[in-house]
Homo-oligomer: A and B are copies of this chain.
């Protein structure tokens, strides 16, 4: 037994497919004065009876609207991603939009399989992405989070780190000389690794010489970061401060420290990047650089873009600042005992 269509419903109710379509759209007909209540009722009953559910693909092909928002999140376990998802979930509630997450996938290939009214891409760092995105933007509305890309048929969300990462490094070097950097191996390979660059610059400003063994690149996700942090902190002359290039990386570092019975921030201070809720809520609360009220504003923007007909492609900037919390406090604290 195959799936019922409007045809099935129409036959059951003894009306045309057009009538069914109108009734089910809950819309009063554009010209004329509409469907008679009795007909409407009959159609509803018929739909109910045959168990009709609209075919989204057909509706999409006809209207060009899918009512879908796609969120491409490259590291779902990153609290940053979870914060995006949560904020979007709250924001779409009343807009009739369904948010779907494309997780840990290469959006470049996956996006061809599924379109949406608005697509958010959380990281587009590869060379050549610019053209692909411009291309994609012709068919879907695109919102890209990127520090380097310029809007080109799509919108760009941008962090304006400004001096905040320098402030974070200065904050660490004020009290420490053994400052390490924990970062994903991939991020070291992009042309201008901004966060890693800030680390190097911070050392230079403080007159601290670079140590190869204080750079800990990790592979993959939080597990990889955790392993790398354990290795970093287990070496003979471990660092007393860690600049982690993301909040989830920082959280992994703190977990690693605690595993090694090291006190945070007593034995090792940690600063992250992202200023996520999860970082703020953890114990010790995470010092981090990041934007204020980022997630809600992003979600709001995405909903507008999904709804809006207009498409003024713009740059939305979020200035960053350093949030000093317990994992790397203003003044040194004595080691717990």
| A residues lining the B interface (CB < 8 Å) | 1, 3, 51, 53-58, 60-61, 66-68, 70, 76-77, 79, 82, 85-86, 89, 98-105, 110, 112-115, 135, 138-139, 222-223, 226, 255-256, 258-259, 277-278, 281-283, 337
| Chain B residues positioned under 8 Å from A66 (CB to CB) | 57, 114
Q: Is there an interface contact between B105 and A98, defined as CB atoms closer than 8 Å?
A: yes
Nearest B residue to A101 by beta-carbon distance? B101
Residue among B1, B54, B104, B223 making CB contact with A112, cutoff 8 Å: B54
**CA of A99 to CA of B291 in the docked complex: distance in angstroms?**
30
With contact pairs A89-B103, A100-B100, A103-B89 given, residues A56 and B255 touching in the complex (Cβ less than 8 Å):
no
25 A-B contact pairs sorted by A residue (CB < 8 Å): A3-B138, A51-B135, A55-B61, A56-B57, A56-B114, A57-B57, A57-B58, A57-B60, A58-B61, A67-B113, A68-B114, A70-B100, A76-B86, A77-B82, A77-B86, A89-B103, A98-B114, A101-B101, A101-B103, A222-B278, A223-B281, A255-B282, A255-B283, A258-B283, A337-B337
Chain B residues near A283: list those with CB within 8 A.
255-256, 258-259
Partner of A103, one of B57, B67, B99: B99
Known: A60-B57, A98-B105. A76 touches B67 (CB 8 A): no
Min Cβ gap A231→B in Å is 15
A281 touches B53 (CB 8 A): no
Q: Which residues of B contact A103 (CB under 8 A)?
A: 85, 89, 99, 101
Q: A3–B77 Cα gap in the complex (Å)?
A: 35
CB distance from A10 to the nearest CB of B (A): 19
Nearest B residue to A102 by beta-carbon distance?
B100
Q: Would A85 and B104 count as touching, CB distance under 8 A?
A: yes
Centre residue among A60, A66, A277 by max chain B CB count within 10 A: A60
Q: Specify which chain B residues have a CB less than 8 angstroms from the CB of A278 in the assembled complex.
A: 77, 222
Residues of B within 8 A of A70 (CB): 100
Known A-B contacts A82-B76, A85-B103, A85-B104; the reply to A113 vs B139 at CB < 8 A is no
A104 B89 Cβ-Cβ under 8 A: yes
A86 to B226, CA, bound (A): 17
A139 contact set on B, CB distance < 8 A = 3, 53
Report the separation of the CA atoms of residues A67 and B114 in the bound assembly, to the nearest whole angstrom: 9
- Knowing A99-B103, A105-B89, A105-B98, say if A115 contacts B57 (CB, 8 Å): yes
Residues in chain B near residue A281, CB distance under 8 A: 223, 226, 255
A98 vs B104: C-alpha distance when bound (angstroms): 11
Given contacts A53-B135, A68-B113, A100-B102, 18 further A-B contacts (CB under 8 A): A1-B138, A56-B57, A56-B112, A57-B58, A70-B100, A76-B85, A76-B101, A85-B103, A86-B104, A89-B104, A89-B105, A99-B105, A100-B101, A223-B277, A226-B281, A256-B283, A258-B258, A259-B283
